[in-house]
Amino acid sequence: MHPLEGVTLLICTHNGADRIANVFRSVAAQRVEQHVLWEVLLISNASNDDTLAVAMRLGQELLPVNVPFRVLDEPKAGKEHALKRGLDVARYEAVAIVDDDNLLAPDYTQMAFEIMQANPEIGVLGACAEGFFEVPPPDWFKEVQAVYAIGPQNRGISGPYPDKDGFVYGAGSVVRRSAWLKLQAHGFHFLTQVKRGKILAGGEDIELGEALRLAGYKLWYDERLRFRHYMYRNRLTWEYLLRIGPGAPSALLISIVYYFVTRHPNLSDAGFNFLYAKRLLWLTKELAHRAGQVMIVWQHPPKEGEIAEFEALRLLQNFRVSLANWGEAKRLFCAVRALQQRLSETN
């Protein structure tokens, strides 16, 4: 059955009892035309605080009485598990992914509904995030704000992304639920599995967008869809940037695999190995071009504000992960190719 036309605001949080009040206030302030159906769905992802109880209380106190509201527990840790649970049970066609540090503009829900309705080819719709800071950000922040999923996307151009380029930030994005159900019907499951710890990064947003591309949908960006991305003081330190900057290995590998598959739809195992080796050679050359900076970060982390060295560190991590995980990349390639073939059989 096709999902109902409307918007599900899907709030995903892990131990968010102390953070979600501001999110609920921004949701309660939504200005939505009377004919537009919408709901609020919160997924508590492996929380061990009182997120569930706090969410229920906030929903009852703040949300309009005519807006359906649910709170569910997802015991499996990982954003990908919370997303799957929410997308599986959402009532409406447009599912907005709201993190517990996202403060929605008052017209966000209405805009999401109108844009998704007007463009049925959209698989994932990206929003424009404005940084909102607990303390003034450091001087270097603006140069790396994209690492924090802040700022315009798609080179600032509203509309469809180029067919094979770019990705949509997960925070504030809107997923077409019927497209998700199509993926599920063809055996899609998230291959990115990110362990929380030394490196903090997702990857499920990249993977979902690329899978929807394989299913025939488009990635899209619209600057009218806006929210504030709240930056707590602990995220505005150089140490935190060094944790999130390199990215998670599984996220890097899956992005490489989809990059090859989308550009070479009939790619064979041998062809994948050739392209992977070619990419390693390219990375080697890039490292050689930045030899001085690479030598510095090889010995110790870049000092605060050393943006060129920070970029060299990211490049070095890219090379290390790619070199050490060729076999894992090949496994991911086989899984993505199988999904591609299943989708092509019904398109």
Q: Does residue 243 belong to any structural domain of this protein?
A: no
Q: Does residue 127 belong to any structural domain of this protein?
A: yes
Name the amino acid, one letter, at 271.
Answer: G
Quick one: 81 and 182 in the same domain?
Answer: yes
Nearest Cα residue to 118 out of 226, 2, 220? 220
Q: Does residue 244 belong to any structural domain of this protein?
A: no
pLDDT at 195 over 60: no
- Residue after which a domain boundary falls, among 206, 237, 268: 237
Q: Which residues contact 293 (CB under 8 A, 6 or more apart)?
A: 308, 309, 311, 312
Q: Does residue 276 belong to any structural domain of this protein?
A: yes
Quick one: 317 and 179 in the same domain?
Answer: no
Q: Does residue 213 belong to any structural domain of this protein?
A: yes
Q: Nearest 5 degrees, angle CA 225-CA 245-CA 255?
A: 70
pLDDT of 314-336, one tens digit each?
A: 999 999 999 999 999 999 999 99
Nearest Cα residue to 101 out of 134, 136, 70? 134
Quick one: 63 and 142 in the same domain?
Answer: yes
DSSP 221: E
Quick one: 128 and 213 in the same domain?
Answer: yes
Reading the block at residue 228, the tokens are 């504030």
Beta strands in 181-283 (DSSP E): 218-231
Q: Does residue 169 belong to any structural domain of this protein?
A: yes
Quick one: 293 and 214 in the same domain?
Answer: no
Quick one: 186 and 333 in the same domain?
Answer: no
The gap between the terminal CA atoms of the chain, to the nearest Å, is 19
| Signed CA dihedral, 179, 180, 185, 191: sign only | positive
Q: Give the separation between CA 106 and CA 96, rounded to whole angstroms.
A: 14
Mean pLDDT rounded to a whole number for the chain: 94
DSSP 285: H
Beta pairing, strands 4-13 & 159-160: unpaired
- Number of domains forming the structure of the chain: 2
pLDDT of 245-286, one tens digit each?
A: 887 788 899 999 999 999 999 999 999 999 999 999 999 999
Quick one: 270 and 314 in the same domain?
Answer: yes
CB 96 within 8 A of CB 173: yes
Task: For residues 330-343, give the mean pLDDT.
Answer: 97
Q: CB count, 10 Å around CB of 174?
A: 32
Quick one: 139 and 41 in the same domain?
Answer: yes
- Residue after which a domain boundary falls, among 237, 267, 294: 237
pLDDT of 24-60, one tens digit each?
A: 999 999 999 999 999 999 999 999 999 999 999 999 9
CB 187 within 8 A of CB 211: no
Quick one: 315 and 199 in the same domain?
Answer: no
CATH of the domain at 41: 3.90.550.10
Which residues form the domain of 330? Answer: 255-346
| Predicted TM-score (pTM) of this structure | 0.94
Q: Does residue 156 belong to any structural domain of this protein?
A: yes
Q: Does residue 245 belong to any structural domain of this protein?
A: no
Distances (CA, A) of 30 to 7, 97, 126, 222: 12, 15, 18, 18
Quick one: 260 and 327 in the same domain?
Answer: yes
- Between 203 and 183, the higher pLDDT residue: 183
Distances (CA, A) of 89 to 72, 85, 180: 10, 6, 11
